[in-house]
Amino acid sequence: MSNRKRKDPPAYATITDVARMAGVSTATVSRTLNSPEQVQAETTGKVMKAVKKLGYVPQSAARNLASRKTNTVGLLLPSIGEDFFGQMLRGVEAEVAQAGYDLLVATKPESQVRVRSTQPLGRHNTDGILIFTGNIFEAEILPMYGEGFPMVLLYQSPPKGLKIPYVTVENKDGSRALVDHLIEEHGYRKIAFLRGPEGNEDSHWRERGFRESMERHGQRVDESLIEPGLFNEEAARQAVTRMLAAGKDFRAIFAGSDENAIGALTALAEAHIAVPEQVAVVGFDDLNLARFTTPPLTTVRAPTEKVGREAVATLFKLIRGEVTEEKVLLQTEVIIRQSCGCIRKEA
C-alpha cells in the first residue's frame, strides 16, 4: 500500500539524491554547481563524483522557480519566414548559448482569432525577448513595456514615445553608396526606385539614401519613377511592367530589395530589354540567390548574423540592468556584380 503523498520516484536523479550520495546537504550541492568558489575543493570533488555517477542534471523548472529567473531568452518571429532568417538565428543562438541561456522561439499569432491565452513569450517564461517581426503594435508590447520587461527590437524602431533599444542596418548609407555608384561609375541619371510596403522602415531609409544621392549629384528625382514594389517579386514585376507600358524613360532601377530586383529582372526579360545594357538593376539585401540571377545582382549586403548577435548582447545588458544604446546601427557594404553594368566579377 502506498502513502498518499509518496509518488513513484522520478525517472531522474534529483539534488536530494546527489546530496545523499555525496554526504552533504542539498544547499552544498547547489553551491557546488552554481558558485563553486564558495565550496571547499574536497567537497566539490565528492559532489561532482556523485553528480557524474547519477547523471544528475538540475531541473530547469525548479531552478527557475527558486531563483526567480528563467535563464531563457525569447525570439519572436514574423509568421512568414524571411530568406535571411537562418543567418540571423545563427547569430542569436550563438550569443545566447555562449551566455548559458536557453532560446525560446515563437511566431507572432497571425490574428486575434487564435485565442491563445496570452502572448507566447513574456515574463512568465523568459528573462527578456527579441522582437523580429514586421508590424509591432503598441498594444501588443505596452503591458510588458510598462513593467520594464527587457526587450530589444530587430530591424525596426519602437513606436513613438517608447524607449526600446533596437538594432538594425544602415539602410540609408548603403543605398546612397549604391546609387552613388550608379551615377558616378556608370553615369546613369534617370533612375527608378521601387518602394517596399507602406510604412516599412527599411524602405523608408533606402528611399532617403536614394534621394540624398540624387540630390548630391544635382539630379532631380522624377516622382513618376517611384513605384511600389512591396518587397514582393510579383508586385515588383507588375510595377516595372506598368512603367514600361506607360512609356516611362529610365536607365536604371534601384529595386529597393533583392526580392524587388528579381521581379524587375523578370519584367525586363519579358519585355526583351537587356540588363544591364539597356536598363541596369540593383537590389538590397544580398540574398543567397543574388549571385545567381541573370545577370548576377549588384546589391548591398547587410550583416545579418551580426544583427542577431548585437541584439542579444543588448538584451543581456537590459537584463543586467545596465544602460544600453537606444539604437545600434550596423554598417552595410555595396556588393558589385554585373547587373549594374560592371564587368568585374565578384571577388
Using the minimum distance from each CB to DNA, give the nearer residue, 62 or 246. 62
Using the minimum distance from each CB to a copy of itself, give the nearer residue, 6 or 68. 68
Taking alpha carbons only, the member of 336, 334, 345, 328 closest to residue 166 is 328
* Chain CA centroid to CA 316, Å: 16
Tell me how many degrees the CA angle 163-166-168 measures, rounded to the nearest 5. Answer: 150
* 140 near a copy of itself, judged by CB under 8 A: no
Rounded to whole angstroms, the Cα distance separating 335 from 284 reads: 9
**Residue of the chain from 53, 59, 273, 278 that contacts DNA (CB under 7 A):** 59
From the list DNA, a copy of itself, none, pick the one residue 54 interacts with, judged by a Cβ distance below 5 to 8 Å according to partner type: none
From the list DNA, a copy of itself, none, pick the one residue 224 interacts with, judged by a Cβ distance below 5 to 8 Å according to partner type: none
Helical spans, DSSP H, in the chain? 15-22, 26-34, 41-54, 60-67, 85-98, 138-146, 171-184, 201-216, 233-245, 258-270, 304-319
User: Could you tell me which residues come within 8 angstroms of residue 81 by beta carbon, excluding any fewer than 6 positions away?
Assistant: none
Using the minimum distance from each CB to a copy of itself, give the nearer residue, 293 or 332. 293
Residues of span 19-38 touching DNA by CB under 7 A: 23-31, 33-34, 37-38
Paired with 94 in beta bridges are none
**Residue of the chain from 28, 175, 293, 338 that contacts a copy of itself (CB under 8 A):** 293
With the C-alpha atoms ordered 343, 284, 247, 188, is the resulting torsion angle positive or negative?
A: negative
* 136 φ/ψ sector (left φ>0, alpha ψ -120 to 50, else beta): beta
Question: C-alpha grid cell for residue 84?
Answer: 535571411
**Residue of the chain from 16, 25, 59, 331 that contacts a copy of itself (CB under 8 A):** 59
Minimum distance from CB of 92 to a copy of itself (Å)?
Answer: 9
Cis? peptide before 296, omega within 30° of 0: no
CB 343 within 8 A of CB 334: no
* 301 near a copy of itself, judged by CB under 8 A: no
* 321 near DNA, judged by CB under 7 A: no
Question: C-alpha grid cell for residue 12?
Answer: 531522474
Residues of span 38-57 touching DNA by CB under 7 A: 38-40, 42-43, 56
From the list a copy of itself, DNA, none, pick the one residue 94 interacts with, judged by a Cβ distance below 5 to 8 Å according to partner type: a copy of itself
* 134 near a copy of itself, judged by CB under 8 A: no
Count the helices and strands in the chain (H runs, E runs).
11, 12
CA distances from 151 to 46, 95, 170, 323 (A): 41, 16, 21, 13
From the list a copy of itself, DNA, none, pick the one residue 233 interacts with, judged by a Cβ distance below 5 to 8 Å according to partner type: none
- Using CB under 8 A as the criterion, which residues of the chain lie in contact with a copy of itself when the complex forms? 10-12, 33, 55, 57-62, 64-65, 68, 70, 72, 77, 81-83, 85-87, 89-90, 93-94, 97, 100, 102-107, 109, 116-120, 122-125, 143, 147-148, 262, 287-289, 291-294
- Using CB under 7 A as the criterion, which residues of the chain lie in contact with DNA when the complex forms? 3-7, 10, 14-16, 23-31, 33-34, 37-40, 42-43, 56, 58-59, 62-63, 65-68
